A and B are shown apart, each in its own frame.
Chain A
Amino acid sequence: MDLSLLSFVQIIVAVLLIIGLMVGNAVVMVYVERKVAGFIQRRPGPYEVGPIGTVQPICDSMKLLGKQLFVPANIDWILFFLAPVLAFFPVLLLFLPIPFGPYLTGLGVGDGILLILAFAGFGVLSNILAGWSSNNKYGLLGAARAVSQSVAYEIPMIMALLAVVFMSGSLNLSEIVAQQGSWPWQWNIVVQPLAFFIYLVSLVGETNRAPFDLPEAESELTAGFHTEYSGMGFALFFLSEYANMLLVSFVCATFFLGGYKGPFLDGFWWTFAKAYAVMFFIVWIRWTFPRVRFDQLLNINWKWLLPLSIINLWLTAIIMKIIS
Chain B
Amino acid sequence: MSSLNFINPFGVRDDPGTVVGDFYTDNFERNARPGTVILNLGPQHPSTHGVLRVLAEMDGEYVVRAEPVLGYLHRMHEKMAEVKTPWQFIPNTGRVDYLHPISWNWAYAGAVEQLAGLTVPPRAEYLRVISCELNRISSHLLWWGAFVMDLGGVTPILYAFEERETINDILQIITGSRLTMSYFRFGGVSSDIDARFIKLTKDFIPYLRERLKMYTGLVTDNVILRRRVEGVGPMSVDLCQRYGATGPILRAAGLARDTRRDIPYGVYPKLEFPIPTGPSDDCFGRYMMRLKEIETSLTIIEQALAQLPSGPYMMEKAPKATFKLPKGETYFAVEGARGQVGVHIVSDGGKSPYRIKLRAPGFSNLSLFAEAAKGTLLADALAILGSLDLVIPEVDR
A binds B: yes
Which A residues fall within an 8 A CB radius of B?
40-43, 71, 73-78, 135, 137-138, 140-141, 144-145, 210-211, 213, 217-220, 222, 287-296
- Check A291 against B11 for contact (C-beta < 8 Å): no
Tell whether, in the assembled complex, residue B153 and residue A220 are in contact, meaning their CB atoms are under 8 Å apart: no
Set of chain B residues within 8 Å of A137, measured between Cβ atoms:
37, 39-40, 58
B149 touches A287 (CB 8 A): no
Known: A137-B37, A287-B154. A75 touches B222 (CB 8 A): no
B151 contacts the other chain (Cβ, under 8 Å)? yes
Residue of A nearest to B219 (CB): A290
- Which of B155-163, B203-211, B247-255 contacts the other chain? B155-163
B224 touches A218 (CB 8 A): no
Pairwise interchain contact B379-A294, C-beta atoms closer than 8 A = yes
The answer to whether B151 touches A219, judged by C-beta atoms less than 8 angstroms apart, is yes
**Which residues of the partner chain B approach A140 to less than 8 Å between Cβ atoms?**
37
Q: A290-B152, A291-B153, A294-B61 are in contact. List 9 more A-B contacts (CB 8 A).
A: A40-B155, A41-B158, A74-B8, A78-B7, A138-B39, A211-B224, A289-B152, A290-B151, A290-B225
Q: Which of B189-228 contact A (CB under 8 A)?
A: 222, 224-225, 227-228
Q: Are B8 and A217 in contact (CB under 8 A)?
A: no
27 sampled A-B residue pairs with Cβ under 8 A: A41-B154, A41-B155, A42-B162, A71-B10, A75-B11, A76-B8, A77-B11, A78-B7, A135-B11, A140-B37, A141-B61, A141-B378, A210-B152, A211-B152, A217-B379, A218-B46, A222-B46, A287-B154, A289-B153, A290-B224, A291-B151, A292-B224, A293-B228, A293-B377, A294-B377, A295-B61, A295-B377
Does B379 contact A289, Cβ atoms closer than 8 Å?
A: no
* Residues on A with beta carbons closer than 8 Å to the beta carbon of B11: 73-75, 77, 135
Known A74-B14, A293-B377; judge A220-B382 contact (CB<8 A): yes
| Residue B364, interface by CB 8 Å | no
A123 to B152 alpha-carbon distance, docked (Å): 23
Interface hub of A210, A219, A294 (most chain B Cβ within 10 A): A219
User: Count of chain B residues with Cβ under 8 Å from any Cβ of A?
Assistant: 37
Q: How far is the CB of A44 from chain B (nearest CB, A)?
A: 12
Tell me the minimal C-beta distance from A159 to chain B in angstroms. 24
Contact B227 A293 (CB under 8 A): yes
1/0 contact trace for B240-277 toward A, CB 8 Å? 00000000000000000000000000000000000000
Residues of B within 8 A of A42 (CB): 158-159, 162
B150 an interface residue at 8 Å Cβ cutoff?
yes
Q: Are the CB atoms of B227 and A77 closer together than 8 Å?
A: no
B interface residue numbers (CB < 8 A to A)? 7-12, 14, 37, 39-40, 45-47, 58, 60-61, 148-155, 158-159, 162, 222, 224-225, 227-228, 377-380, 382
Contacts of A222 in B (CB 8 A): 45-46
> How far is A101 from B57 in the complex, measured between Cα atoms in Å?
54
Leading 9 A-B pairs by shortest Cβ distance? A291-B152, A290-B153, A219-B47, A290-B151, A41-B158, A74-B11, A290-B152, A293-B379, A219-B150
A290: which B residues are within 8 A, CB to CB?
148, 151-153, 222, 224-225, 228
CA distance A293 to B383 in the complex (A): 10
Q: How far is the CA of A43 from the CA of B157 in the complex (A)?
A: 12
A287 to B218, CA, bound (A): 12
- Distance of A109 Cα from B7 Cα, bound (Å): 39
> How far, in angstroms, from A170 to B151 measured CA to CA in the complex?
43
How far is it, in angstroms, between the C-alpha of A141 and the C-alpha of B40 when the chains are bound?
13
B8 touches A77 (CB 8 A): yes
Q: How far is the CB of B275 from chain A (nearest CB, A)?
A: 30
Q: CB-CB < 8 A to B152: which residues of A?
A: 210-211, 213, 217-219, 289-291
